Amino acid sequence: MLTEAQKLLKQYYGYTSFRPGQEHIIRSLLEGRDTLGIMPTGGGKSICYQIPALLMKGLTLVVSPLISLMKDQVDALGTLGIPAASINSTLTGSEVGRVLREAESGRLRLLYVAPERLESDWFRERVRELNIPFVAVDEAHCVSQWGHDFRPSYTAISPFLRSLPKRPLVAAFTATATPEVKRDIADLLELEQPEIVITGFARDNLALHILRGENKRDYITRYVQAHSHQPGIVYAATRREVEEVYEMLRKKGVAAGKYHAGMADAERAAAQEAFLYDDVRVMVATNAFGMGIDKSNVRYVIHHNMPKNMEAYYQEAGRAGRDGEPGECILLFGAQDILTQKFFIEQSNLSPERKSNEYKKLQAMVDFCYTPKCLRSAILQYFGDTQEDEPCGMCSSCKDDRETVDITVEAQKIFSCIKRMRERFGISMVASVLKGSGAKKVLEYRFNELPTYGIMRNFTEKDISDLINVLVAEGYLGLSEGQYPTLKLQEGALEVLQGRVTVYQKIARKPAAAAAGDDGLFERLRQLRKELAQRDKVPPYIVFSDSTLREMSELRPITAAELLNVKGVGEAKFRSYGAAFLDVLQRWVSGERTG
C-alpha cells in the first residue's frame, strides 16, 4: 500500500518522496491504526489524510474549523483533479442537498465539514447512509479546553463517531500541542490505541527575533518598505491598533490590507482574498486572521504586540515560510503588552481554573520574550520536544548584531526624575517633564520646578518614551497594573543612580532591503502564475508555490519530462499549466543561447 501511496504522491502532487513524518503517519493509517499527527505549520499535514483517502473505498470526512480553510483545501484538490467538496454555513439548503447527493453517488472522495455540522440530527441521519471508512480531524487542539483555541463544538466529534453504523478510522492533526493537550486530544476524540507521530516543532527555515524597546511603528514602517516585494503579515492585539498601523502604512504608500472582527463579513472576505491573490502585499490583522491562512509564500510575520501564549505565537509566526523557503518572524515586545493581555484575561468569561491557566501561559510567553537562550530551543522545550536542542544560530539570541550604545547618563536622568515625581506617574508624563514641556498638567503639579525638568531637551518626547520602554523591558523600571500604569524604580535602577552599574541599549540596525535574489526568469514565471490564477479564479500559490517556481528558474526545464521532474509539478497541474510554463521557459533559454 505504501508503494501505491508514493505513486499517488508523484501523480497528484509532483513529489517523489514524503516529508519527515508523512510516511510514518500514512503507513500507520493504511495499517488501520488511529493516528495523532503533530507536525509544524507547513509540514504537509493535508497530504497525510488526502492520500489515504484516495486509497480507501468510500468517502473521507474531514472536520475543519474555518470556511476559508475548507475552501482553500477544496480549491487545491480541484486543481489536482481530486473530487472534493465542503458543507458550511454559506450554503443554502438545496446546495447542501446537492453536495450530499454527490457524496451518495460516489462522485466525491473527500467532504469537508465544520464541527458544528456534526451536532445536526438531520446531517447525522443523512451521513449514516454513506460509506465513511475514515474521518480526519484538522486543528485537533481545539478539542482541549487547555489549548489556545478551544472550541466547544469539537466535543461533538466523539458522539458523532459513536452514532455511525460502523466506527471509522480516525486521524487527528495539529501543529501546536503541549503534552497536556496531546493527552486531551487522544482522550476526548476517543482515539483507540493511537499511533502518536511527532515530527518535531522546529521550523528550520524560520529566523525568530525578539526586539525590546523599539519604536514599533517606526520599525514596522522601515521593515515593510524594505521588503515591499514580499508578502507579509503584521499582527496587532486590538482592532484600534490594526486600524492605526494600517493607516500608517497606507499613508506611506504601502499596498496594505486590514482584517479584524469589527469588520463586516464581506469586508473581511474581500481583504483576505486580496492578500491571497497578491493584490496587497502586507496584511495588518488581529488574531481573527487565523487558521484559514494557507498562503504558502508569506515571507515575514511581525508581531506588533506580544501574543497571549506560546501556542498562539508559534502558530501565527509559523504562517511565514510554509513553502519551505526562508521566513522571518519578528516580535516587537513592550511592557505594556503584558498589561494588555492581562486585561483580556480579566475581561473574559473563563472559569477561575481556566483564568489561572491563562495567566500561567502568559507568564511563559513573557519569560520567552526575556530569555537570553536560543529562541528555537526555548520553543522546543515549551512543547516538550527534546529532539533538537542545539542553538539554531539564526535567532536574535544566537545572532545579535545590534549596536551597543552606553545610555547610563540618560538612564540616571530618567530614574532621578521618576524618583522626584514620587513614582506616581506614567511614561508620557515623565517624558514631558524631562523634555521641559509646558503642558497644563506639568505646570499644575509644579513639575517645572524640579531639577530634572527639561534636562533632556535635546530629545523628542517620543525618543524619551522609547528609552523609558527600553529600561522597563530590561527590568530597571516596573509598571504598575491598571488602566493607567505608573513607573516604579526597581533595585537595578538604584545601583545605576549610585554609579555602580552601566546601562547599555541595543540599537537595531536599519533593516537592509531584502535581496532581490529573484532573477528575471523567476519574476516572469511569477507573472505568468498570477495571470493563470486570475484566469482560473484561484490564489496564485495554488497554481504553483514559490519554491516550485524557484526550482524552475534554476533548473530551466524545456521538455515535458524535465518539467514533471520539478518538485510540485504533478500530472494534473502539468495538464493545466505545463504548456504555458514550458513556453516561457523555452523562450527564455532560447534567448540566452542566441544572446
Tens digit of each residue's pLDDT (9 = 90 or more) over 544-563: 988 899 889 888 999 988 89
What kind and span of H or E run contains 119? none
pLDDT above 70: residue 516: no
Closest CA to 37 of 48, 27, 50: 48
Whether 295 contacts 225, CB under 8 Å: no
Which domains, and CATH codes, for the chain?
Answer: 2-198 (3.40.50.300), 206-402 (3.40.50.300), 404-507 (1.10.10.10), 520-594 (1.10.150.80)
**Other Cβ atoms within 10 Å of 384 Cβ, number:** 13
Query: Which residues make Cβ contacts (< 8 Å) with residue 375, sequence separation at least 6?
Result: 208, 209, 210, 368, 392, 395, 396, 397, 398
Give the integer Cα–Cα distance in Å for 470 and 465.
Answer: 9
Burial profile 194-203: b = 16 or more Cβ within 10 angstroms, e = fewer: bbebbbbbbb
Is the overall model pTM greater than 0.85, yes or no? no
pLDDT at 16 over 60: yes
112-139: buried (b, 16+ CB within 10 Å) or exposed (e) per residue? bbbbbbbbbeebbebbeebebbbbbbbb
pLDDT interval class at 389 (50, 70, 90): low
HSE-CB at 536 with a 13 A cutoff on CA atoms is: 19
Which has more confidence, 38 or 234? 234
Cβ count near 218 (within 10 Å): 12
Cβ contact 157:63 at 8 Å: yes
Q: What is the mean pLDDT of residues 28-34?
A: 95
pLDDT band at 515 (very low <50, low <70, confident <90, very high): very low
Q: How far apart are CA 27 and CA 504, in angstroms?
A: 55
Q: Which band of pLDDT confidence, cut at 50, 70 and 90, is reported for residue 517? A: very low
Which pLDDT score is estimated for 292? 56
**How is residue 73 annotated by DSSP?**
H
Confidence band, pLDDT 50/70/90 cuts, at residue 68: confident
Hey, which residues does 259 pair with through a beta bridge? 285
Span 315-337, mean pLDDT? 89
pLDDT tens digits for range 131-149: 999 999 998 988 987 766 7
Residue type, 416: S
CA angle at residue 204 from 202 to 208, to 5 degrees?
A: 85
Q: What is the mean pLDDT of the chain?
A: 88
Cell of 284: 495588518
| pLDDT tens readout for residues 95-123 | 988 999 999 999 999 999 999 999 989 89
User: What contacts 192, CB < 8 A, 6 or more positions away?
Assistant: 34, 170
List residues bridging with 233 in a β-sheet. Answer: 283, 301
pLDDT at 293: 64
Long-range contacts of residues 367-373, Cβ cutoff 8 Å, at least 24 apart: 368/210, 368/310, 368/313, 369/210, 369/212, 369/306, 369/331, 369/333, 370/475, 371/397, 372/397, 373/397
Residue 55: how many other CB atoms lie within 10 Å: 15
Whole-angstrom distance, CA of residue 419 vs CA of residue 412: 10
- Furthest-apart CA atoms within the chain: distance in Å: 86
